[in-house]
């Protein structure tokens, strides 16, 4: 199968994000609509139900460098969150601690990352972790 070049791939993801195709728990889009390189993205994760994150919305920024999708995007939380895979000083998601970043595959998307993070929030070990007040940011 032919490799989809970076920009086509990101355009595809942009369309998916704007049209809201997906399970509706994560949303993502370009942070600057004029950015023709489509490097900087915003993402939101709607906190999974029956966890401490219920009724919260977490904002993230994602950066896709030139090697995307061969290399994973870098992901930062903007909203403060207490998760083992998130650096508590910077909000950066540690690539080694999130399985989809650690074992990045070319067919993974930004949505994969967001849903994986959401799953991490709902993980029984994490879903009761005390969280900083809503609205605070890194």
Residues in touch with another protein (CB under 8 A): 17-25, 27-31, 33, 41-44, 46, 48, 55-57, 59-60, 99-100, 103, 105, 107, 109, 111-112, 115-116, 119, 122, 134
Taking the complex as a whole, the smallest distance from the CB of residue 114 to another protein amounts, in Å, to: 9
Closest approach of another protein to the CB of residue 60, in Å:
8
CB contact at 8 A, 75 and 113:
yes
User: Rounded distance, CA 99 to CA 88, Å?
Assistant: 19
Shorter beta-carbon distance to another protein: residue 3 or 105: 105
Looking at the Cβ atoms of 86 and 109, the one nearer to another protein is 109
Establish whether the linkage from the previous residue to 69 is cis, with ω within 30° of 0. yes
List helix spans (H) across the chain: 6-19, 99-102, 110-122
CB of 105 to another protein, least distance (A): 8
Rounded to a whole number of angstroms, the minimum distance from the CB of residue 9 to another protein is: 12
Specify the residue, 46 or 93, whose C-beta has the smaller distance to another protein. 46
Residue 38 CB contacts under 8 Å (≥ 6 apart), including other chains? 7, 10, 11, 14, 30, 64
Write out the two tokens for 117. 């993070």
Tokens 């023709």, residue located: 36
Q: Which is nearer to another protein, 89 or 133 (CB)?
A: 133
């Amino acid at each position: 199968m032919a490799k989809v070049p970076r920009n086509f791939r990101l355009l595809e993801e942009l369309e998916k994000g704007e049209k809201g195709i997906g399970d509706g728990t994560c949303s993502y889009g370009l942070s600057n609509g004029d950015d023709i390189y489509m490097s900087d993205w915003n993402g939101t994760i709607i906190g999974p139900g029956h966890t401490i994150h219920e009724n919260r919305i977490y904002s993230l920024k994602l950066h896709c460098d030139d090697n995307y999708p061969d290399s994973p995007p870098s992901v930062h939380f903007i909203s403060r969150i207490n998760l083992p895979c998130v650096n508590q000083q910077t909000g950066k998601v540690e690539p080694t601690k999130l399985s989809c970043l650690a074992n990045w595959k070319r067919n993974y998307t930004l949505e994969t990352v967001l849903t994986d993070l959401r799953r991490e929030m709902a993980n029984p070990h994490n879903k009761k972790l005390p969280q900083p007040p809503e609205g605070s940011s890194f």
